[in-house]
A and B are shown apart, each in its own frame.
Chain A
Amino acid sequence: MATASAPFAALEPLLLRHHSRADALIEVLHGAQQCYGHLSDPLLRHVAERLQLPLSRVKGTASFYHLFRFQPPARHRCVVCTGTACQIQGAPALIAAMEEDLGLKLGARRGDGWVSLSEVRCLGTCSDAPLVQIDDSIGRQQTVAGLRRWLQELEP
């Protein structure tokens, strides 16, 4: 983790490996998000400085890709797979149930940071459609009833 004396020190090994080359920007952003949970403004400034890129280029690139986050992740991340196989086998009903139970729209994060609801276009294990991922566990062949029970078990 970062120490007070050297901000974002955990990023140094990765920067060294890529010789602080500008073309490693996306790799560095991945590493930064992994170390610090999300890409905060100071973190993006630090990356821009170390790769000698304009901040606008760093922010512009980061915001282009879906997987980069600019605020801390929720404590529980609910992700519905909306790949084609999941879509035709019930993903829309799962999304509706989750929106209702969590009081959230798809793509939103609750104000207190407890939970977020988002979609992913295909997890690539389509034989078990429809799939829902909550934090690190993947629920296979989800039903609305089963999913509702799962949501109730989430720690507050």
Chain B
Amino acid sequence: MSGLRYCASAGCLARGSGALMEALNTAISRGELGDQIQLRPVGCLGPCSQGPLLALDPDGDLYAGVDPQDAETLVAALARRLHQSSDQATPLEWAPARGQRLDLSEPFFQRQRRIVLEHCGLIDPTDLEQAIAVGAYGQLERVLQGWSPEQVVTELQRSGLRGRGGAGYPTGLKWATVARMPGARKVVVCNADEGDPGAFMDRAVLEGDPHRVLEGMAIAAYAVGADHGFIYIRAEYELAIERLRLAIEQAVDRGRLGAGLFGTGFGFTLELRVGAGAYVCGEETALIASIEGKRGTPRPRPPYPAERGVGGRPTLINNVETFANVAPILREGADWFAAIGSAGSSGTKVFSLTGHVRRGGLVEVPMGTSLATVVLEMGEGSPHGSAVKAVQTGGPSGGCVPADQLDTPLDYESLQALGTIMGSGGMVVLDQSTDMVALAAYFMAFCREESCGKCVPCRAGTVQLHGLLEKILAGQASHADLDQLETLGAMVMDTSLCGLGQSAPKPMLSTLRYFRGEYLARLEAP
């Protein structure tokens, strides 16, 4: 048998993996031994900037930028090898006319450790049987048949897993809090409202291995005593929505979701809720309001969602990547997971590496890996002979790390000390051509537009801050304006109601901290 896996995630589809698939299909059905060549769609294979990507089994080779016109010769080479010997380990005698075979010994691949993405790129995300064959829902079954909910919570706590959505709150502690709440009708919510511009980790997980997320949610429901769940996903992710709808349907049909799972009394039902374009809905109380069919405005906490969430019921909210970590933690054990990464930040983190970088895409590395490793080694630095100036993490809620601090390890505390955050995993590389004041103005415009308008500091403050930044960009600002920018920024951070306003000034303050000269150079002479 030979196998061809083509990436059917949004990035490669846009780069023509659909046409490649059709050409391969035609060539396979026309040629000899077609029944021994299996062609299937899979999730993200990694280096998106080189798509469309095609992987070959059993060799494990990865080809980049393959043209549909190469399909004939590839299928012919596979048939030749199948003819010649039963030993499929002989290297394939084939090279694409366009595109190339990627060198898997390069840092981009070698430095990765795939836990969340372990099956992404290996299985057909639209085929539940393939997911089950690699263990999907196996941990749910094991837990339901032999573990108490308390044991599950304890295992999660011991693993040291922290929320992958941005803030890094200890997941086990959150589960324990919801589990302690009275009431039999609790709710589990998956936050898939991946709104940070430049971030696409959750999209890749949902498109490539949706059952992994559903299993994590079902295990969480058992642990905290919930019977119903919602996945709240942004409407822009059409393919991910389609895959999730299908996955939920399949899981219900095969008895992996619904009532009386695996012959026990435990049942869990799941609904998909599609957002409608509002960044603030990534904030948990706004997200709850949106699930309830209302305007997505946040409310003060407490009460926290753990106490009063969807429909007033105790609610557990975790993000996509957090849920995707649950099954491997239970399978391999909390000690195994805690040993990966760094002290205080265990496990791995998925990043979407984009911007001015030679090799971009989806990478999963152990926590504590340095930014330099990811950006300079794996991403191979900036293209066109330019040098890296800074790396932006955490989107509109984060900040930038200047080039001279790239040896910083990627963990929650180290990034916070630099004035940015881990965030959900967006990592945008900026080269020397980047205007940092313009970037600050860009993020402020984003927050101004996405402010829900409920609290004054955020509603009015972001408008004022953006106005001041525009004034600086136009070369019409004075030193007094710069002072006001900083004072007002601090005030908006301290007094806004929710995370959007509290972090809106961060990209600006971060560029002021490291690139103050760019601001000063634009001020009017006193």
A130 CA / B200 CA spacing, docked (Å): 15
Q: Fill in one digit per residue for A112-142: 1 if any B CB lies within 8 Å of its CB, else 0.
A: 0000000011111111110000000010100
Task: Give chain A interface residues in 79-93, CB to chain B under 8 Å.
Answer: 82-85, 87-89
**Residue among B200, B276, B392, B452 having the largest count of chain A Cβ atoms under 10 Å:** B276
At the interface, yes or no: B402 with Cβ under 8 Å from chain A? no
Q: For A29, list chain B residues within 8 Å (CB).
A: 276
B236 contacts A124, C-beta separation under 8 Å: yes
Q: For B356, list chain A residues within 8 Å (CB).
A: 88-89
B277 contacts A127, C-beta separation under 8 Å: no
Q: For B275, list chain A residues within 8 Å (CB).
A: 26, 65
Q: For A19, list chain B residues within 8 Å (CB).
A: none
A33 → B minimal CB distance (Å) = 9
A129 CA / B200 CA spacing, docked (Å): 13
A121 CA / B279 CA spacing, docked (Å): 9
Q: For B274, list chain A residues within 8 Å (CB).
A: 26-27, 30
Task: Give chain B interface residues in 428-453, CB to chain A under 8 Å.
Answer: 428, 430, 434, 439, 442, 446, 452
A126 contacts B295, C-beta separation under 8 Å: no
- Known: A66-B276, A67-B277. Is A89-B355 also a contact (CB below 8 A)? yes
**Residue among A25, A65, A84 having the largest count of chain B Cβ atoms under 10 Å:** A84
Nearest opposing residue in chain B for A119, CB measure: B449
Q: Fill in one digit per residue for B268-283: 1 if any A CB lies within 8 Å of its CB, else 0.
A: 0000011111110000
Q: Fill in one digit per residue for B339-373: 1 if any A CB lies within 8 Å of its CB, else 0.
A: 00000000000001011100011000000000000
A121 contacts B197, C-beta separation under 8 Å: yes
B279 → A minimal CB distance (Å) = 7
At the interface, yes or no: B199 with Cβ under 8 Å from chain A? yes
- Known: A64-B278, A127-B11. Is A26-B293 also a contact (CB below 8 A)? yes
A126 CA / B352 CA spacing, docked (Å): 9
A123 CA / B277 CA spacing, docked (Å): 12
Residue in A57, A68, A82, A138 whose beta carbon sits within 8 Å of that of B276 in the complex? A68
Residue in B236, B291, B442 whose beta carbon sits within 8 Å of that of A23 in the complex? B291
A125 contacts B198, C-beta separation under 8 Å: no
At the interface, yes or no: B235 with Cβ under 8 Å from chain A? yes
B355 contacts A88, C-beta separation under 8 Å: yes
Q: For B236, list chain A residues within 8 Å (CB).
A: 120, 122-124
At the interface, yes or no: A24 with Cβ under 8 Å from chain B? yes
At the interface, yes or no: A52 with Cβ under 8 Å from chain B? no
A25 contacts B276, C-beta separation under 8 Å: no
In the complex, how many residues of chain A place their beta carbon closer than 8 angstroms to a beta carbon of chain B? 35
Nearest opposing residue in chain B for A120, CB measure: B236
B355 contacts A85, C-beta separation under 8 Å: yes
A61 contacts B200, C-beta separation under 8 Å: no
At the interface, yes or no: B457 with Cβ under 8 Å from chain A? no
Nearest opposing residue in chain A for B446, CB measure: A121
Nearest opposing residue in chain A for B50, CB measure: A127
A83 CA / B439 CA spacing, docked (Å): 11
Nearest opposing residue in chain B for A126, CB measure: B354
At the interface, yes or no: B294 with Cβ under 8 Å from chain A? yes
Residue in A61, A121, A140 whose beta carbon sits within 8 Å of that of B14 in the complex? A140
At the interface, yes or no: A60 with Cβ under 8 Å from chain B? yes
Q: For B197, list chain A residues within 8 Å (CB).
A: 82-85, 87, 121-122
At the interface, yes or no: A15 with Cβ under 8 Å from chain B? no
At the interface, yes or no: B290 with Cβ under 8 Å from chain A? yes
Q: For A121, list chain B residues within 8 Å (CB).
A: 195, 197, 279, 446
B275 → A minimal CB distance (Å) = 8
- Known: A84-B395, A124-B236. Is A24-B293 also a contact (CB below 8 A)? yes
At the interface, yes or no: A22 with Cβ under 8 Å from chain B? yes
Closest 6 A/B residue pairs (Cβ) = A66-B277, A65-B276, A25-B293, A83-B197, A84-B198, A126-B354
- A–B complex contacts, Cβ < 8 Å, 14 sampled: A23-B291, A26-B273, A57-B294, A61-B293, A61-B295, A66-B278, A84-B354, A84-B442, A122-B196, A124-B203, A124-B236, A127-B49, A127-B51, A138-B14
Q: A87-B197, A124-B194 are in contact. List 15 more A-B contacts (CB 8 A).
A: A23-B292, A24-B293, A61-B295, A64-B296, A65-B277, A84-B197, A84-B355, A85-B197, A85-B354, A85-B428, A122-B195, A124-B236, A125-B10, A126-B198, A126-B200
